[in-house]
Amino acid sequence: MPPTAVIWSLLVFDDKHPLYNSYRIAKRIAIGIVGGSVLVVGVCMIVLPGPAFIVIPVGLGILGIEFAWARIWLKKVKAKAQAVTKSFNNRNGRGDSPPPGSPSN
**pLDDT confidence tier of residue 103, bands split at 50, 70 and 90:** low
Q: Say which range, 3-7, 29-33, 39-43, has the weakest mean pLDDT.
A: 3-7
Q: Is the pLDDT of residue 88 over 80?
A: yes
pLDDT for the residue numbered 12: 66
Instruction: Look at residues 27, 23, 5 and name the one whose alpha carbon lies nearest to residue 14.
Output: 23
Are the C-beta atoms of 40 and 58 separated by less than 8 Å? no
Cα–Cα distances (Å) from 32 to 45, 60, 66, 85, 92, in that order, read: 20, 10, 8, 30, 40
pLDDT for the residue numbered 99: 60
**pLDDT confidence tier of residue 32, bands split at 50, 70 and 90:** very high
Helices and strands in the chain, H and E counts: 4, 0
